[in-house]
Structure 1
Amino acid sequence: MTSTFRIGGELAVRRLGFGAMRLPTEPAPARETGIAVARRAVELGITLIDTAHMYGWGANEELLAEALYPYPDDLLIATKVGIAPAPSIHEAESCGRPDFLREQVDDGLRRLRVERLDLLQLHRIDPKVPLADQLGTLRELQLAGKIGHLGLSEVTVTDLAEARQIIDVASVQNRYSMLDREHEAVLDACTEAGIAFLPWRPVHPAVLSATSEITAVAAELGATQAQISLAWLLDRSPVVLPIPGTTSISHLEENVAAADLKLSDDQRHRLNNLQPT
């Protein structure tokens, strides 16, 4: 199983990435912790970092720029647009209006301090706006040089097929893990098409208290249950690019080490046969 993947056939990244959503963006000392974790991720060889406009409404993008700019040549920071604050401070809603998407793309460029977003994903499809209008707007921005590759998030097989009639889909970011396989068919479609699949929440919370085959395989490999979850994802398909997140450097290092684990045929079979939660 290869350790790298070319997103859109062009953007070469190591398959185990990092999800920046949980990094603290508050004033010091919390912010210093977020910066330190982001920098350590790059030191450990991570070349794919996932963020979004929604994460702190731009604060997460700004934190990554503060921590990592000027960016290493091999680092890909993928961001997402298409979510707007709702009336309640704890809520958000999809917004695919062309003017709103253009504004968020421009904001992302400014916050990340770049001239092009190499991978830009639509965070959610807005059911109130025709898909052709949403993706057509992003395609226009791509042709204008503001976006390199386009992706989707939380989509069905039907959504993916429809989107591929409008744009070249380079990536899909859906919730998926060893104990949560709701989007198995989407992953299979991405595997067949060579589309990067970025599972968010790649380690299901139930894994940490599991006493089943997960614990047994972890003991056999001298690993943690969380590491087994990430190793299983990397083994599942060559297009899978897990993006586990953390606020701890020690946890980050543990996650990165999972990329070196190799499952035997027997271990793979036992984990594949687990019943999803």
Structure 2
Amino acid sequence: MDGILMASTSSTLSGEPVFASRPGGTAQFAGRTVSRIGYGAMQLARLHDDRDAALAVLRRAIESGVDHIDTAQFYGDGFVNGLLREAIRPQDDVMVVSKVGATPDPGAPIPLRPAQRPEELRADVEANLVSLGLERIPVVNLRRLDAGPGLRATGDQVVDLDDQLAVMTAMRDEGKIGAIGLGSVTLDGLRRAIPAGIACVQNAYSLITRDDEAMLQLCRAEGIAWVPFFPLGSAFPQMPKVTDEAAVLAAAASLGRTPAQVGLAWLLHHAPHVLLIPGTAGIEHLDENIAAGTITFDQATLDTLDAIPSRSAEVPLG
């Protein structure tokens, strides 16, 4: 299969198809209309010893209307991709999005190491194709290591963006990938890459870590989807947490929602090209994430949330 499959439907008594609702509404992504709330599959690697539970989470996401799922070969060293291959059926219309630029490094503080060289990017795309069982991956994100929290490239892993884009566009021309995204990229890097055709940007961004506001607005102007990771700002202990903010806690109490749902909903309200890929390994948490798409804010609440100061997401760890 090519990674873009037929839509899941059921039938009414009249025989008319009924489509699942799109969590969070819809937006454009790599030439498709997708739900604004997708699913990030990274945490499924925690369920390595409970494959049935992992598959149940994936099926719940799909049956809830999620139609784009974010993955990587280095999530569980192929385990998560194998789950997607098993869980996604030909009628589900799910767009699989993967990423390259790192490889497993078991035992390290962050169990990844950079894999930025062009030959490594190509090998990783090939590995994704095999583990996902696809002939073409609809979107592949080139995870640069230039910005935000996490790894940094050193030595021969410091590779010019143009050299990386050359191999990515070659694979797009070969039909191995459908579109190119960028992650952990700087504003200058994005500007350099736009002529190559960029479908999305994945940078650390949340209500309280808005370093990349200018880049978010450039993406909006260029029709590029903004797909933030760490949407609650809480992946590393050094980072502030959206769910600790007094204004977020107050909004959650007023709305009868969780602080995490308020943080996710703010992102959806902030700009129409924002797509979310919150991850979880539990069905209850998944349902809460999806339900964030139903939250509306009055103007006073939105103004109060907008006024929360932004803190830097720059926390290099390696």
Asked if TM exceeds 0.5, the reply is yes
Q: Which runs of 4+ in 1 moved over 6 A?
A: none
2:102 maps to 1:83? yes
2:197 equivalent among 159, 162, 168: 168
2:292 maps to 1:273? no
Shift of 1:85: 3.8
CA contact (8 A) 2:47 2:53 kept: no
Name the structure 1 match of 2:168.
138
**What are the residue-to-residue correspondences of 1:41-120 with 2, within 5 Å?**
41-70=61-90, 72-73=92-93, 75-86=94-105, 89-90=108-109, 91-120=111-140
Shift of 1:36: 0.8
Mapped partners of 2:177, 2:91: distance in 1? 17
Mapped partners of 1:239, 1:163: distance in 2? 19
2:289 equivalent among 250, 255, 258: 255
1:56-95 deviation digits (Å, cap 9, x = unpaired): 222211121122244612x111000121345864443322
Name the structure 2 match of 1:179.
208
Instruction: Describe the shift of the 1:25–1:204 C-alpha distance in structure 2 as closer, same or farther (beyond 3 A).
Output: closer
Shift of 1:251: 0.7
Mapped partners of 2:248, 2:105: distance in 1? 39
Shift of 1:272: 0.3
Instruction: Describe the shift of the 1:266–1:55 C-alpha distance in structure 2 as closer, same or farther (beyond 3 A).
Output: same
For the residue of structure 2 that corresponds to 1:152, the secondary structure is strand
Shift of 1:26: 5.2
CA contact (8 A) 1:24 1:31 kept: no
**What are the residue-to-residue correspondences of 1:197-212 with 2, within 5 Å?**
197-205=226-234, 206-210=241-245, 212=246
For the residue of structure 2 that corresponds to 1:84, the secondary structure is strand
Aligned residue-pair number: 271
For the residue of structure 2 that corresponds to 1:169, the secondary structure is coil
Shift of 1:23: 0.6
Name the structure 2 match of 1:24.
45
1:99-158 deviation digits (Å, cap 9, x = unpaired): 221111111111111111001100225662221111110101101111111100011110
Name the structure 1 match of 2:260.
226
TM (norm. structure 2) is 0.80
Shift of 1:181: 1.4
1:212-266 deviation digits (Å, cap 9, x = unpaired): 1112211222211111011100001011011111111011001111101111111
Specify every segment of 5 or more residues in structure 2 that has no aligned partner in the other structure, as ranges.
1-23, 146-152, 235-240, 312-318
- What RMSD in Å do the two structures reach over aligned CA positions? 1.9
Q: Which 10-residue stretch deviates more, 95-104 or 84-93?
A: 84-93
TM (norm. structure 1) is 0.91
For the residue of structure 2 that corresponds to 1:24, the secondary structure is helix
Shift of 1:192: 1.8
Name the structure 1 match of 2:217.
188
Q: Which 10-residue stretch deviates more, 242-251 or 16-25?
A: 16-25
Name the structure 1 match of 2:148.
none
CA contact (8 A) 1:25 1:63 kept: no
Q: Which 10-residue stretch deviates more, 115-124 or 196-205?
A: 196-205
Q: Which 10-residue stretch deviates more, 150-159 or 201-210?
A: 201-210
Shift of 1:40: 0.4
Mapped partners of 1:13, 1:247: distance in 2? 22
